[in-house]
Amino acid sequence: MSSVHLVSQSGLAQEIRARTHVLKADEPVGAGGTDTGPAPYEILLSALAACTSLTLRMYADRKGWDLGRIEVEARFLRDANGEESIRREVFFSLPQAADSQERLAAVWEKTPVTKTLKRSLPITTTFRPAE
């Protein structure tokens, strides 16, 4: 399946290798890092958002639906009791019929990364319609 190789020379900055790609991970300066890349939770949220968007695009393309621009915003939350969750918002720049929105909502709930993360924490998704 998928794998990555991580290298850390010193400090909190990390070099991540995934196939032929090189990514960075770090912590913000306020958390002791040098801010040379996204923090680990930001990378986790990026994986969820990317998987959501590309899965929706593949599905819509197969159906012949034009979604326009897809935007996905994801936030990691931890409440006062230590309970963790993710809030995700999905936006299409082109309006969609109600039945299409329902089908697309069913698709984003079944994306591979969504299914993996939902095994350990809740993900709440809202749809922001085109204006």
- Apex CA 63: angle with CA 58 and CA 67, to 5°? 65
In terms of residue numbers, what domain contains 61?
A: 40-128
Higher pLDDT, 8 or 87: 87
The verdict on 32 and 49 lying in the same domain is no
């329902």: which residue's tokens? 102
pLDDT for 123 = 85
Q: Reply yes or no on whether the pLDDT at 110 is more than 90.
A: yes
Same domain, yes or no, for 32 and 46? no
> Can you tell me the mean pLDDT for 26-53?
96
Give per-residue burial for 57-68: e unless 16+ CB within 10 Å, then b.
eebbeeeebebe
118 with 54, same domain? yes
Distance CA 6, CA 19 (A): 12
34/93 same-domain check? no
Q: Both 15 and 45 in a single domain?
A: no
Count: domains in the chain: 2
Q: What pLDDT was estimated at residue 8?
A: 87
Please report, for the domain that includes residue 98, its CATH number. Answer: 3.30.300.20
Q: Are residues 14 and 28 in the same domain?
A: yes
- Asked if the model's pLDDT at residue 4 lies above 90, the reply is no
Q: pLDDT (tens digit, 9 = 90+) per residue, 89-107?
A: 999 999 999 999 999 999 9
Contacts of 57 (CB under 8 A, 6+ apart): 67, 70
- 17 with 61, same domain: the answer is no
Angle in degrees, 0-180, between the axes of helices 40-63 and 98-108, rounded to the nearest 10: 140
Q: Do 64 and 115 lie in a common domain? A: yes
pLDDT beyond 90 at 20: yes
- Give Dmax over CA atoms of the chain in angstroms: 52
Q: Verify that 45 and 93 share a domain, yes or no.
A: yes
